[in-house]
Amino acid sequence: HSKPLAGRVAVITGASSGIGESTAEHLAGLGATVVVLARRADRLRELVARIEKDGGRALALAVDVTDAAAVQAAADRVDAELGGADLLFNNAGVMLPAPVEERATGQWQQQIDLNIGGLMNVIGSFTPQLVTAAAERGVADLINTSSIAAQNIFPNFAVYSGTKAYVTHLSRHLRAELGPKNVRVSALEPGIVGTELQGHVTDEGARQWLDGARQTMEWLTPDDVAQAIGFIATQPPRVNFQQVTIMPTAQT
């Protein structure tokens, strides 16, 4: 089948750049109608225009996922206008490594509010649509973006890694809850991908660590990760990748 995701409605958070943006383009190319969520409306508009130019269908919703009411309003719109989502790529996140002794409490809170709180707002508002779609069509997908930081140990990444360990463990529990309802839950754990993520890092030591890593290995591209998401979502309904780690070959 040339369009394996035809008829499906995919909601993608963090779609205005990086992994989410590439995944939106890839899933649209596979035939899904994509709903792209992030805060930057201008970036989403350009993305939708690009997808439509390539013959795809897309809807932009400018939403801050830490705002539970705004997320619920977005979910209501997806339900009303597109009949609900059957694929959720819950991907918005921020990484702000720093030594714990710096007590960057604002950045701790920012990571917890988005990577955990925002992720949960999206799960809360869209899971009913996934369950309904799975009951009607036999399958739906909930893919949460975690990180290799959920597994490996990196100095100065304690808070970020903690939020991602939450995402991986939450995903395993949700899989036990929703798998029997035909919702496939996956945790995606990428190693380093070149995106805007690194640009938000303010701690000088962490910036130097990242610059060093950029010089010693070839990082993944957002499209590499998008291809993996496409692979996960196009499996037969009985096949669920529970946890997918995708690493730059040279990253240890």
Q: For ligand NDP, give the closer residue by CB, 56 or 222.
A: 222
User: Would you give the end-to-end CA distance of the chain in angstroms?
Assistant: 37
Site for ligand NDP in 227-246 (CB under 6 A): none
- From CA 145, how far away is CA 32, in angstroms rounded? 19
90's enclosing H/E stretch is strand 87-90
Q: For ligand NDP, give the closer residue by CB, 31 or 118.
A: 118
Site for ligand NDP in 112-141 (CB under 6 A): 114, 118
Least distance in Å: CB of 190 to ligand NDP?
A: 4
Q: Which stretch binds ligand NDP (CB under 6 A): 25-33, 127-135, 190-198, 235-243?
A: 190-198
Query: Of residues 12, 34, 35, 38, which one binds ligand NDP by CB under 6 A?
Result: 38
195 by Cβ neighbours in 10 Å (0-12 / 13-18 / 19+) ranks as buried
Contact 33, 84 (CB under 8 A): no
Under the binding rule (CB under 6 A), the answer on residue 64 touching ligand NDP is yes
Q: For ligand NDP, give the closer residue by CB, 78 or 95.
A: 95
Structure tokens at 243: 């946890």
Contact 217, 250 (CB under 8 A): yes
Under the binding rule (CB under 6 A), the answer on residue 111 touching ligand NDP is no
Contact 59, 81 (CB under 8 A): yes
As a whole number of angstroms, the longest Cα–Cα distance in the chain is 54
Q: For ligand NDP, give the closer residue by CB, 18 or 97.
A: 18
The dihedral built from the CA positions of residue 48, 23, 179 and 174, taken in this order, carries a sign that is negative
Q: Which stretch binds ligand NDP (CB under 6 A): 64-72, 76-84, 100-108, 244-252?
A: 64-72
Among the listed residues 108, 157, 160, 166, the single catalytic one is: 160
**Contacts for 244 with CB less than 8 Å, ≥ 6 apart:** 186, 187, 188, 189, 228, 232
Q: For ligand NDP, give the closer residue by CB, 134 or 220.
A: 220
Structure tokens at 84: 């609900």
Catalytic-residue membership of 166: no
Query: Of residues 16, 33, 125, 186, which one binds ligand NDP by CB under 6 A?
Result: 16
CA-based radius of gyration for the chain: 17
Q: For ligand NDP, give the closer residue by CB, 9 or 225.
A: 225
Query: Of residues 46, 57, 66, 247, which one binds ligand NDP by CB under 6 A?
Result: 66
Site string for ligand NDP, 191-210 (x = CB under 6 A): -xx-xxx-------------
Count Cβ neighbours within 10 Å for each residue of 108-138 and write b for 16 or more, e otherwise. Answer: bebbbebbbbbbbbbbebbbebbbbbbeeee
Binding site for ligand NDP (CB under 6 A): 13-20, 38-40, 43, 64-66, 91-95, 114, 118, 145, 147, 190, 192-193, 195-197
Q: Catalytic site residues?
A: 160
